[in-house]
Chains A and B, each alone.
Chain A
Amino acid sequence: MVESNLTVKKLNERFPSSVLEVKTFRGEVTVTVLKRDILEICKFLHSDPDLQYHFLVDLCGLDFFPQSPRFEVVYLLCSMKEYQRLRLKTRVGENESISSVESVWKAANWLEREVYDLFGIPFENHSDLRRILLWDGFEGHPLRKDFPVEGPDFDKPFVLEV
C-alpha cells in the first residue's frame, strides 16, 4: 500500500534525507518529515504536475507534553487531481519556530494563526501572526496539555484591543 503510493515514492526520491517515517493506518497515509524542509516539501507537493496538492484541507497542532520534541504540526492535503489525501507531519520542539506555508496555500494564514494562538508555536514569515480566537491580553495557550481545562484567567479582566 505505502510502497505503491506515488506521493510517497516521489517524496522519497526528491527528499531522501527529510522523510523520517511513513505510516498507514485505516487506509490513511501519514508522512513525517524534517521541520527544516517543510516549506520546500509543500512547494513541491503543490507544484508537481503528477501530484497537484492544490487544496490544504487542514493544518493543526498536537502537543505530546512531556515528551520531547514536544509538538507536532499536522498538514492535511488533498489532491484535486485524483481526490487523494495525504497527511504530512513535522515535529517542533518547545520554543522553536517553523516556516509558514502561507506562500503555498493562502488557507494557511488563519490556520497557522490558530495554531499559534492555541499552541504557541510561532510561524516564520507569516504575514499577520496574531492571536485569532482569543484576545491579545490572554495568557497561555489553551490546547497545550499543561493548560488546565478551567483556565487560570477565570477572574481576570477582559483586555480590550485598541
Chain B
Amino acid sequence: MAERRFMTINMGPQHPATHGVLRLVLELDGEVIVKATPHIGHLHRGVEKLAESRTYHQVIPLTDRLDYTNAMGNNLAYVLAVEKLLGIEVPKRAQYLRVMMAELQRIAAHLIWLGTHALDIGAMTLLFYNFREREEVLGIFEAVAGGRLTPTYLRIGGVSKDLPDGIEERIKTFVRAFPDHVKEYETLLTQNVIWLKRTKGVGIISKEDAINWGVTGPTLRGSGVRYDVRKAFPYSGYDEFDFEIPLGSVGDVYDRYIVRLREMEWSNSIVEQALERLPKGPILADDPRVTLPAKDAVTQDIAALIRQFKIVSEGFSPPPGEVYASVEAAKGELGFYIVSDGSNHPFRVRIRPPSFLNLSALPKMIEGSLIADVIAAIGSIDIVLGEIDR
C-alpha cells in the first residue's frame, strides 16, 4: 500500500479571508483538513505593557485600537474596571449614553462581520448594503464624539461630551429604518440555497466543547449556551432594558449567522429604549480626584484650574487592589483585570480578549472538514486580529 502523504499549505498572514494577519498552517489529506495550526502575533503591539507606563486616563485611547470594529465597547470595559477600582458612581444619563453607543457599535461591528463573511463565501452584493448602514452609524459617532473608527468617547466617570443638537432625530431615523434593512439582508441569504449549503452543518462546536474552550459571545450562543454578560453580570444599567438573548441549537456557521442577525435587531431595540428614556442630568461624575472640571470653570476659577492641571499632568491614584470588569462586546466577553499598587499608573492591565479564545477553538471546529469550510468557519467566529494580538 502506498504511504499516506499529507500536504501542508500555508494560509495567510496576507490572505483576504483571514480577516487580518492570521496565519493558518493546514495539513491536508486531499481536501480534508487533518490538522490546523493558527499562528498569531503579527499585530502584537504590547498594549498591556504600554498601559503600565501610562496614567489611567491615557489608557483609554489604547483600548479603541484592540478590536477596532468595537471601539465604544472596548472603552466601556476599561472605564468600568477603573470605576470599580475607584468605587465611583456614574450618572444615569452617562450610563444610558454608554449603552446607546455600545449597542450602535455592536450593530456596526456585526454589519462588518455580515458583509465580509458573506463576501468570503461568495455573496458580494451584501457588503454594499451593510456598509451603507454602517456609514450612518459612523456618521452618528462622528457627530457625537468627533471620531469615526476610534472615537475615544468614554471617560472615567462618564462620557466626554453630551449629545449635539439634532442628533437624537438622526438616531431615531436610523433606528426606525434598521429593522427593514435586516429583512433586506435576510432576503439575500437566509433561504439562499448556496448560503445554506455552505453554512449548515459546517464548523460545528458543541455546547460543552464551546464552554471548555472558553468561547464566548455569539459563537457560544450559536451552540445554545445562554451566557451573555449583559444578563449574567449586568453593568451600566442593562438590567433596566428589555431584550432577549438569541440562541442557536446546532452550533454551526448558520446558527451563528442567525444569532448575530437577531442580536442586531435587539441592539436596535435597546438603542430605541435608551433614546426614549434618556434621563436628563450630568454626563460626568463630579469627583474632584478623577474627573476634569467644566471648561468654563477652568477659565474663571483658580481651584478648577489647579484640579484640571493635576489630573492632566499626574492623573489620579486609586487604592491598592485588583478588579475585573467585563462587557459583552461584539465578539464576546471582553474583560479588563486591573491591578493597582496605589500609584498613578496601573501595576498591571490584563485584557481578556474574546477573539483570542474564540480563535483557539477554530482547529476544533474545522479538523476533519473540507478546506473550503475553513473560510466559512473563520468568518463565522468573527475575529479581529487587533484584539487577539494586542
Contact = CB atoms under 8 A, between A and B. Distances in A.
Contacts of A44: none
Contact of B321 (A26, A107, A131, A147): A26
B360 interface: yes
Interface stretch (B108-116, B119-127, B251-259, B331-339): B331-339
A62 interface: yes
Most buried by A among B84, B213, B339: B213
Contact of B360 (A25, A57, A109): A109
Given A26-B84, A58-B337, A107 B213 contact: yes
Interface string A38-70: 000000000000000011111010100000000
Interface string A1-25: 0000000000000000000000001
Contacts of A109: 360
B323 A135 contact: no
Given A60-B350, A109-B360, A132-B40, A26 B87 contact: yes
Contacts of B49: 142-143, 147, 149
Contacts of A161: 39
Interface in A64-100: 74, 76, 80, 83, 85, 87
Contact of A132 (B41, B214, B322): B41
A83 B233 CA distance: 8
A105 B214 contact: yes
B357 interface: yes
B265 interface: no
Contact of B41 (A74, A133, A149): A133
B56 interface: no
B44 interface: yes
Contacts of A131: 41
B262 interface: no
A142 B46 contact: yes
B12 to A, nearest CB: 14
B198 interface: no
A58 B322 CA distance: 14
Contacts of B321: 25-26
A74 B360 CA distance: 20
Given A58-B350, A106-B212, A83 B46 contact: no
A152 B263 CA distance: 46
A133 B389 contact: yes
B44 A134 contact: yes
B148 interface: no
A60 B337 contact: yes
Interface in A109-148: 109-111, 118, 131-135, 142-143, 147
Nearest to A30: B322
B324 A134 contact: no
Nearest to B225: A80
Contact of B53 (A58, A132, A149): A149
B212 A105 contact: yes
Interface in B305-354: 321-324, 326, 333, 335, 337, 339, 347-348, 350, 352
B46 A107 contact: no
Contacts of B390: 133
A68 to B, nearest CB: 17
A161 B337 CA distance: 32
Contact of A107 (B40, B214, B225, B350): B214
Given A107-B213, A134-B41, A87 B324 contact: yes
A142 B390 CA distance: 13
A107 B212 contact: yes
Contacts of B1: none
B213 A106 contact: yes
B212 to A, nearest CB: 5
Contact of B211 (A26, A80, A111): A80
26 contacts: A25-B322, A28-B322, A28-B323, A58-B335, A58-B337, A58-B352, A62-B347, A62-B348, A74-B337, A76-B324, A76-B337, A80-B225, A85-B324, A105-B213, A105-B214, A106-B361, A107-B214, A110-B360, A111-B357, A132-B40, A132-B41, A134-B44, A142-B46, A142-B49, A147-B49, A149-B49
Given A58-B335, A76-B324, A80-B211, 14 more contacts: A25-B323, A26-B84, A55-B214, A56-B214, A57-B335, A62-B339, A74-B337, A105-B214, A106-B213, A106-B214, A106-B360, A111-B357, A118-B48, A149-B49
Interface of B: 39-41, 44, 46, 48-50, 53, 84-85, 87, 209, 211-214, 225, 227, 232-233, 321-324, 326, 333, 335, 337, 339, 347-348, 350, 352, 356-357, 360-361, 364, 389-390
Which 6 pairs show the lowest CB-CB distances between chains A and B? Answer: A107-B214, A133-B41, A110-B360, A83-B232, A58-B352, A60-B350
